[in-house]
Structure 1
Amino acid sequence: MAPAVAQHGREAATKTPAAFETEAAQAILIDDATGSVLFDKAADAPFAPASMAKIMTAALVFEALSSGKITPDTMFRVSEHAWRTGGGPSGGSAMFALLNSEVRVGDLLRGMLVQAGNDAAIVLAEGIAGSEPAFVARMTEKAKELGLIRTTFVNASGLPDPGQMTTARDMARLSRHVIAAWPELYRVFSEPEFTWNKIRQRNRNPLVQAVNGADGLQTGYTRDGGFALAGSVVQNGQRLVFVLTGLKTAASRSDEARKLVEWAYRTFEARKLFEAGATVGEAGVFGGASGSVALAARAPVSVLVRREGGDRLTAQIIYTGPVQAPVAAGAEIGRLVVLRGDAPALETPLYAAAAVARGSLPQRAMDGAVELAGGWIRKALRRE
């Protein structure tokens, strides 16, 4: 069996508005409600995540809090490794937790997400998993689970390491997961400031108090890779999640993020492609009472398009087929991928709209003969 693709084109209009341009080396902007990619610039190119690695650290801390393994009042000790590597002596971003002190998880979480404290991230990792390497193994496992195929974690803080790499697309996917999975805990990202050890520090995310609706996530900086930001903004009930990397200054990072968000809200509007439960297409069925099954999405399928027109949308139904009968109603069969030009705009799973029973013996025999012949043809084509 081979992946099958059904393709349909939908053109919005003929007028083409000016494209957005950014100084960022890599960038992606996503409408969170639909998953529509509104802007993409080298979004799969690798870069060092720096402190954006803390978004994954936060995800695992949120998991531990949600499961009851720890509470905000659980105390973790500040080890010499955490203090020396990520604390005051390191010269990097820190919450300045004291060596061998006991610190509440709730305070460590704020130290990590508001102040981008490397010491807080390491203490949390050690407290939850017993050691930072053991915690990093969980980070890697979680990355695979979320489909972050181009991301590798080496430490919990994001401190420079040549083995620690990600992409703008992966960081955006991770950010959306954190926002959706733990909406209450996610609010820590938006706290404007935090004071620890008599040191008051403002939120390092430059948009939190400068842009209406900005509520997270994390900045990043490396000497070689420049300034980066994974951010989220909600205006008029519409959340945008974006990642920008490779900027030369902190000021340009703020400016480019603000311009990107303003451009998106000014440029796009939602367009519904399919109602919930509406037939999107069909998948071929092998050995069934019917030779095909209708496919539908469980929720309405919408995508953002430019208000002035000019977007050419192409919809592809991708599945591994033909699908083997019997097919249960509601079974996940494949996915709908919507492209804006050549760039991904939306991806959503598709399900069998109805059951397909096993066919009669003659029907199965005929399907088998057709599949066998198709297999010979595919083999012959591969040899040429």
Structure 2
Amino acid sequence: MKKATVLLALTAGALVAPGHAERPRYDGDVPIAYMVDMSSGAILFARDGNRRIPPASMAKMMTAHVAFDLLQEGTITLDQECTVRPETWRQWHGPEAGSTMFLSPGEQVSIENLLYGVVTVSGNDASVVLAECISGTESAFTALMNRKAEELGLENSHFGNSNGWPDEGRTYVTARDLARLAISTIQHYPEYYSQFYGRREFTWGETMGGQPITQPNRNPLMGNVDGADGLKTGHTQEAGYGFTGSAVQDGRRIVMVLAGLDSYSQRIEQSTRFMEWGFNAWQSLQLLTSGARVGSARVQGGSSGEVGLVAPRNLAMTVPAGLASERQVRIVYQGPVRAPIAEGQHIADLVIETPDMPDQRLPLVAETAVGERGFFGRVWAGLKSLIGLG
């Protein structure tokens, strides 16, 4: 089907100083790094973003994503109780089993508390117990993880377990895919994201002396960067130290990924520096407010011959801080769009072309629903085509 393109003239507000926008540079000593501005979809930085890497505990982001999806569907509930199998406890208990929620054999734990164990304190035991509770076996749950990865377009990711434990290379991701996974979680499950990723600490289990065990969230941005509220750290000898993080400031949200770092302290330092660079070196300029009509698209086989295109949310573009830049804005869609069309359906993109920058693509949705053309309408359309009026 032919791609339709419409050129637009949009203003983005006054900037501090006119001039050609050169892409800001980031010189952090990191082997793998990736950053996306969610307000515009712009990729602000990419270093080896498509290299396959072991995710360590960052794999738990997919475990949580699958659980959030099932919660939203109503397949599971937060108050649903799960039993800690003694075999699972033995496998994921003790210093050789990595991060733990400090579960006990035979214990009954709600899905809500297991998710705190997975997300807030990165418990390997919590991940496996959750997986077994939802799907019967961990391997059945990882099938759900891989199905979701395919659905999200994570082309270079595969999951062999629920917690990211080294498994001879069966589990791998890329920084780009981790960013896409984080963005999907934030966009589709905002309430669950806020509840579980934004928590500062979680208490579960007891010491030998009977004292409750409280563990802090390992997020290195919390307390160091304003607006930090997610997502997951990861560390194994194989993977090094990694982190997928997000923060929001003045309504602008950035998602970042670092991987292959050498130490815990380097992860804190580089994560903080990288996120601060994202907010300071770039600025977001609003293009359209939510619901603003931009243009229209042709409709094939519909009760109407065209449908309005509107912004589904406030849409912005990202440019280097303090500089204006030449830009071209286009509406692009695969047209004509075939009816029926639902109101709010994504049917086109606003594409922003800026020198020295990758294209920024923002979604446009149908302003109204368009039903299929009735029988007599189809006959009339055929007659018009035959006599050259269509």
Per the TM superposition, whether the score is higher than 0.5 is: yes
In the alignment, is the contact (CA less than 8 A) between 2:225 and 2:276 conserved in 1? no
Q: CA deviation at 1:6?
A: 5.8
**Match of residue 25, structure 1, among 28, 31, 38:** 31
Tell whether the 8 Å contact from 1:56 to 1:174 is kept in structure 2 after alignment. Answer: yes
Instruction: Tell me if structure 1 keeps the 8 A contact 2:60–2:163.
Output: yes
Q: Is 1:43 aligned with 2:66?
A: no
Residue 175 (structure 1) aligned to one of 165, 178, 182: 182
Tell me the SS of whatever aligns to 1:343. Answer: coil
Deviates more, 1:225-234 or 1:66-75: 66-75
Q: What residue in structure 1 maps to residue 240 of structure 2? A: 226
What corresponds to 1:335 in structure 2? 349
Contact 1:51-1:221 at 8 Å conserved across structures:
yes
Matched residue type, 1:364: S
Moved more, 7-16 or 148-157: 7-16
Structure-1 separation of matches of 2:174 and 2:206: 35
Secondary structure, counterpart of 1:258 in structure 2: helix
Return the alpha-carbon distance in structure 2 between the equivalents of residues 89 and 308 of structure 1: 50
Following superposition, the deviation at residue 300 of structure 1 comes to: 4.0
- Is 1:76 matched with 2:90? no
In the TM superposition, residue 259 of structure 1 has moved relative to its aligned partner by 1.0
SS in 1 for 2:286: strand
**Distance in 2, Cα, partners of 1:31 & 1:139:** 25
Residue 132 of structure 1 deviates from its aligned partner by 0.9
| Partner SS state of residue 115, structure 1 | coil
Query: Could you say if the C-alpha distance between residues 21 and 277 of structure 1 is closer, same or farther in structure 2, counting changes exceeding 3 Å?
Result: same
Is the Cα–Cα contact under 8 Å of residues 279 and 294 in structure 1 kept in the other structure?
Answer: yes
Q: Aligned ranges for residues 256-335 of structure 1 at < 5 Å?
A: 256-274=270-288, 280=294, 295-309=309-323, 313=327, 315=329, 317-323=331-337, 332-335=346-349
Q: RMSD in angstroms over aligned alpha carbons?
A: 3.7
Please name the residue that 2:142 is paired with: 136
Identity of aligned residues (%): 37
Q: Within 5 A, what are the aligned runs for 1:77-96?
A: 77-88=83-94, 90-96=96-102
Distance in 2, Cα, partners of 1:70 & 1:315: 44
Structure 1: distance between partners of 2:78 and 2:304: 56
What secondary structure does 1:21 align onto? coil
Judging changes above 3 Å, is the alpha-carbon distance between structure 1 residues 141 and 224 closer, same or farther for their aligned structure 2 residues?
Answer: same
1:58 is the counterpart of 2:72: no
Tell me, in whole angstroms, the C-alpha distance in 1 between the residues paired with 2:202 and 2:304.
63
The alignment's TM-score, normalised by the length of structure 1, stands at: 0.79
Q: What amino acid maps onto 1:148 in structure 2?
A: L
Q: For residues 219-254 of structure 1, what are the alpha-carbon distances to aligned partners after superposition, in whole Å with 9 as ceiling and x for unaligned?
A: 112333322111121233433222112222222221
Q: How many angstroms apart in 2 are the aligned matches of 1:289 and 1:57? A: 43
For 2:210, the equivalent position in structure 1 comes to none
Q: Distance in 2 between matches of 1:95 and 1:230?
A: 21
Q: In the alignment, residue 264 of structure 1 is paired with which amino acid?
A: G
- 1:345 and 2:360 aligned: yes
CA deviation vs aligned residue, 1:241-286 (integer Å, no higher than 9, x gap)? 2211222222222111111221122222222334556665666777
Counterpart of 2:231 (choices 180, 203, 217) is: 217
Contact 1:287 1:368 in 2 (8 A): no
Alignment partner, residue 385 of structure 2: 364
1: CA distance, partners of 2:20 / 2:55: 39
From 266, 278, 288, the equivalent of 1:252 is: 266
Normalized against structure 2, the TM-score is what?
0.78
How far apart, in 2, do the equivalents of 1:287 and 1:65 lie?
A: 37
Cα distance, 1:349 vs. partner?
3.5
1:16 partner SS: coil
Separation in 1 of the partners of 2:34 and 2:247? Answer: 14
Q: Structure 2 vs 1, CA of residues 145 and 5 (structure 1 numbering), >3 Å: closer, same or farther?
A: same
| Number of the residue aligned with 1:197 | 206
In structure 1, what residue type is equivalent to 2:363? T
Change (3 A) 1:26 1:292: farther
Match of 2:108 in 1: 102
Shift of 1:325: 7.8
Q: 1:74 to 1:298 in 2, by over 3 A?
A: closer
Q: For residues 259 and 156 of structure 2, what CA distance do their matches in structure 1 show?
A: 16
- Answering whether residue 256 of structure 2 is matched by residue 239 of structure 1, we say no
- Distance change >3 Å, CA 339–CA 217, structure 1 → 2: farther
Contact 1:279 1:353 in 2 (8 A): no
Q: Structure 1: where are the runs of 5+ without partners?
A: 370-384
Deviates more, 1:66-75 or 1:19-28: 66-75
AA partner of residue 49 (structure 1): P
Give the Å deviation of 1:125.
0.6
Q: How far has the Cα of 1:313 moved from its partner?
A: 4.5
Change (3 A) 1:149 1:223: same
Q: Following the alignment from structure 2 to structure 1, what is the Cα–Cα distance between the partners of residues 388 and 255?
A: 46
2: CA distance between counterparts of 1:214 and 1:284? 42
Amino acid at match of 1:197: E
Q: Structure 2 CA distance, aligned partners of 1:326 and 1:66? A: 26
